[in-house]
């Protein structure tokens, strides 16, 4: 219950922060994409800074949720942040949610609820939960880092919608890697200051954190929210579930029906998130106006 509560509150904060940040990132100069000066430009925008502060608070609650819950479960909960983002954008643009958007939002909530029902293990103290060995967590983080670098590098070389999609996919992988590193960090943090400084997770958090900030804002800056938002929304939960169950040995209740049902819930959630992201009004997401020739 603790993981669910903190995960949901983190999702609300993430969604609100992202809605504030995306508009300003999309209006940033093209020449700043993928460079530190993009962050310097955005840091001068008060609403973007407010969004960043809100997201940092969300991350702190996200870390608590990962301390008490499994990666796959927490990440599915956090994926609902997109619902908050779209609602905030709609309010700011003074547009109502369309029937399609409402249907997608309901599909996301239903998908997450079914996933939790089928995968949540019996409650017990966190110190007695199954933890993947440290080397498996490290391997998962390194694997995500390698794939993310390849996808992101391809994104920075691409243009147009392909650029937005690849950068968004890279951002989703970074978010998953950051969650993996956060899980490890919460385990070593209770062992004292020395353990924190000698743990790889501390430095991985810095790398993933800075990478997430730069790549996510670059994806937003690419100016194709109908591409970047759906990809980012779908990649993060799907990658998290794959890593949690495939690499970290997070167990679910046994039974073919549960496994199939959980898989379908992930698919339904990802599709719902993609449809919901596409429903965001372009003018509300800070899309650059076309240039006059």
**What six digits make up the tokens of 253?**
């209740």
- Coarse DSSP helix, strand, coil percentages of the chain, rounded to the nearest 5 percent: 80, 0, 20
Are the beta carbons of 32 and 38 closer than 8 angstroms?
A: yes
pLDDT at 6: 93
Neighbours of 7 (CB within 10 A): 27
User: Tokens 């200051």 sit at which residue?
Assistant: 193
pTM of the predicted model as reported, rounded to 2 decimal places: 0.77
Q: Which residues contact 6 (CB under 8 A, 6 or more apart)?
A: 61, 62, 64, 65, 68
pLDDT along the chain (293 residues), means of 10: 89 86 62 61 77 90 89 88 82 78 89 85 50 82 92 90 89 91 88 88 90 81 72 84 81 67 87 78 42 31
Please, are residues 50 and 197 in contact by the beta-carbon 8 Å criterion? no
- If 0-12 CB within 10 Å is exposed, 13-18 middle and 19+ buried, where does residue 292 land? exposed
The H-or-E segment that residue 245 falls in is helix 225-246
Residues in the chain: 293
Closest Cα to residue 209, out of 73, 44, 59, 17? 59
CB atoms within 10 A of CB 23: 22
Give dist(CA 290, CA 125) in Å, integer. 55
């Amino acid at each position: 219950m603790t993981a669910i509560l903190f995960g949901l509150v983190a999702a609300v904060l993430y969604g609100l922060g992202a809605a504030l940040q995306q508009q300003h990132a999309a209006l940033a100069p093209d020449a700043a994409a993928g460079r530190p000066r993009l962050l310097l430009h955005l840091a001068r925008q008060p609403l973007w800074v407010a969004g960043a502060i809100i997201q940092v608070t969300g991350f702190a609650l996200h870390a608590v949720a990962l301390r008490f819950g499994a990666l796959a479960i927490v990440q599915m909960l956090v994926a609902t942040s997109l619902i908050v983002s779209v609602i905030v954008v709609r309010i700011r643009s003074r547009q109502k949610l369309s029937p399609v958007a409402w249907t997608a939002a309901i599909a996301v909530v239903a998908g997450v609820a079914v996933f939790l029902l089928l995968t949540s293990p019996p409650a017990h103290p966190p110190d007695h939960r199954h933890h993947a060995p440290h080397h498996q967590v490290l391997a998962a983080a390194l694997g995500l880092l390698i794939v993310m670098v390849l996808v992101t590098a391809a994104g920075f070389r691409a243009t147009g919608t392909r650029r937005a999609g690849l950068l968004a996919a890279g951002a989703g992988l970074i978010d998953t890697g950051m969650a993996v590193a956060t899980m490890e960090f919460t385990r070593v943090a209770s062992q004292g200051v020395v353990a924190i400084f000698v743990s790889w997770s501390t430095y991985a958090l810095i790398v993933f954190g800075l990478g997430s900030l730069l790549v996510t804002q670059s994806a937003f800056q690419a100016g194709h929210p109908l591409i970047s938002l759906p990809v980012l929304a779908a990649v993060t939960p799907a990658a998290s579930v794959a890593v949690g169950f495939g690499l970290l040995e997070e167990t679910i209740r046994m039974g073919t029906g549960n496994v199939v049902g959980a898989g379908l819930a992930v698919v339904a959630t990802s599709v719902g998130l993609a449809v919901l992201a596409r429903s965001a009004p372009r003018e509300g997401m800070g899309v650059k106006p076309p240039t006059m020739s």
